Chain A
């Protein structure tokens, strides 16, 4: 805070054909508003003699006020005479007068109906472009994958193992815990509803089908999308930001081969494994809760599980995993390549990669449901 000071004393008196304006005190920013209001009361129909000999402090705001008075008087054909100024005030006035900005008003174009329609069209077009780019990225990944089959020496096995550990092994605790709790919740909620019909034993079917067919792999994919898509974007994006990707290209190294193939492939390998772990943990949690809450013994649970649940549910669940992995990997790597040379775009792309990956996974899951319903599985 700027300390409060006495507001400057302002007086206008008329002498002959001119006005004498006397100011005493500190002409500084805290009182600039009132000082400016005082100066606005000075009539511009005659010359002004400004006496600053009583001014104790003077800053650029004061210089601006005087310079704008000078401009107003000039417009009205009058002159401003300044007396009693020190050398410092004079030099400040000179440089402020020289720097007085001349506003250039830029006409803001008005938004018409056509502009609005055009902006909708543009956002639609960019959405399709985005989709096309993702497909292009998928194609690039597949092409490089085939290439690495023909030239195994180009393939970076160490990087693949590293990323398998990063996206797979390190995600096991969170995925396992999440699936276990989902199983517990399903058993608990299912049992309270099914008890009303005396159909407690069907809680096993409820848990098994929902976990194996849908929730196990879907929730795993959502967690992996949040964890890994952001990590891919951040890692590739920061390399893009520091021109490391350009450096690779200039050294004859293929960024797609070096960066995308190991990451996406690691995800394609690890996501089904994570999904399997989630399935087992989900059943474990559900079974435990069913035992505690409904008294369904583990042996009964196993029998009911094997008899009542079709193996198709497991297959349908696991088939989705590599597809979800491709989606997450491609979205994450693509977003990383969109990062510009500033830190804001890195943050923006990282969060948009997570949103896009989760959204795409859920859309794909819905399409799978329609497809499997269509073929009667």
Chain B
């Protein structure tokens, strides 16, 4: 992939000196990370390295002990909720199992964020919700269903549709392909890639899925030793000399994913 230098690109999320601590257990210490506009960044790390905590911290669901988080130039930790909205900073979060409101249909779920928009005609809101549902790859009739009537994969898609309801610039995805069969996971990868490119989305993706990392991530950030150990492309990861990173990207599963990717894209791929 041909990407401009880091210095040329617009930073949409900037984390400096982040410290997260629960009781005496330090999850992040002095963590720095920059995320650029339009990229899909995959966050990997062993269990308990605080991948989801990092996601929740940036999305404002968890308050860190120290450090700063700037999203689109706004200091989200100190900005008032209204101030954040006034600056046009909005993001969507897709939780692991969709986290849909169980008492509402899928369409009503997608309409919930749109209700905050003043003067939006209910008919139009409904039509736009249907559009988001369709863009998330769900059939039309899924809009009338309740979350409990959907399969896990469909719930994830519905969760994505809700996350995209207000055309956010950034979406956070927590393990988007966990619990999906390989075909469903590959479809979901392509959906994220397609939406990211056509909507100009910046995607922050927490995953364990090596296939996802290979298939769609522009950049990978490895969480280890309480900080972002290394960031870079998949190719960069293969040359990192750290025991965990080496094990992760050179293990049997990683090899298999790499082979699949190579077979799919042909040997000319860089």
CB of B119 within 8 A of CB of A94, answer: no
Taking the complex as formed, is B32 at the interface, i.e. its CB lies under 8 A from any CB of chain A?
Answer: no
0 or 1 for each of A1-26: is its CB under 8 Å from B? (1 = yes): 11110000000000000000000000
CB neighbors of B among A31-68 (8 A): 32-33, 36, 59-61, 64, 68
0 or 1 for each of B134-160: is its CB under 8 Å from A? (1 = yes): 110000110010001000000000000
Tell which of B12-20, B61-69, B82-90, B204-212 binds the partner. Answer: B82-90
Taking the complex as formed, is B128 at the interface, i.e. its CB lies under 8 A from any CB of chain A?
Answer: yes
Tell which of A102-110, A163-171, A227-235 binds the partner. Answer: A102-110
Across-interface contacts of A103 in B (CB, < 8 A): 130, 140
Known contacts A61-B128, A101-B134; A3 and B117 CB within 8 A of each other:
no
0 or 1 for each of A76-109: is its CB under 8 Å from B? (1 = yes): 0000000000001001101110011111101000
Partner of B117, one of A2, A101, A344: A2
The residue of chain B having its C-beta at the shortest distance from the C-beta of A92 within the complex is B198
Taking the complex as formed, is A149 at the interface, i.e. its CB lies under 8 A from any CB of chain B?
Answer: no
CB of B119 within 8 A of CB of A30, answer: yes
The residue of chain A having its C-beta at the shortest distance from the C-beta of B148 within the complex is A342
Distance between B123 CB and nearest chain A CB, rounded to angstroms: 9
What interface size band does chain B fall in? 35 or more
Q: Could you tell me the dominant secondary structure of chain B's interface residues?
A: helix
Distance between A100 CB and nearest chain B CB, rounded to angstroms: 7
Taking the complex as formed, is B133 at the interface, i.e. its CB lies under 8 A from any CB of chain A?
Answer: yes
Partner of A2, one of B131, B166, B195: B166
Taking the complex as formed, is B200 at the interface, i.e. its CB lies under 8 A from any CB of chain A?
Answer: yes
CB of A101 within 8 A of CB of B118, answer: no
Point out which of A28, A68, A101, A103 has the most chain B C-beta atoms below 10 A from its C-beta.
Answer: A101
What interface size band does chain A fall in? 20 to 34
Across-interface contacts of B164 in A (CB, < 8 A): 60
Across-interface contacts of A32 in B (CB, < 8 A): 120-121, 124, 128
Across-interface contacts of B133 in A (CB, < 8 A): 101
CB of B85 within 8 A of CB of A96, answer: no
Across-interface contacts of A106 in B (CB, < 8 A): 141, 144
The residue of chain B having its C-beta at the shortest distance from the C-beta of A58 within the complex is B167
CB of A33 within 8 A of CB of B121, answer: yes
Across-interface contacts of B194 in A (CB, < 8 A): 95
Kindly state the separation between the CA atoms of A116 and B82 in the bound complex, as whole angstroms.
Answer: 51
Across-interface contacts of A102 in B (CB, < 8 A): 140
B contacts, CB < 8 Å to A: 82, 85-88, 90, 102, 114, 116-121, 124, 127-128, 130-135, 140-141, 144, 148, 164, 166-167, 194-195, 197-200
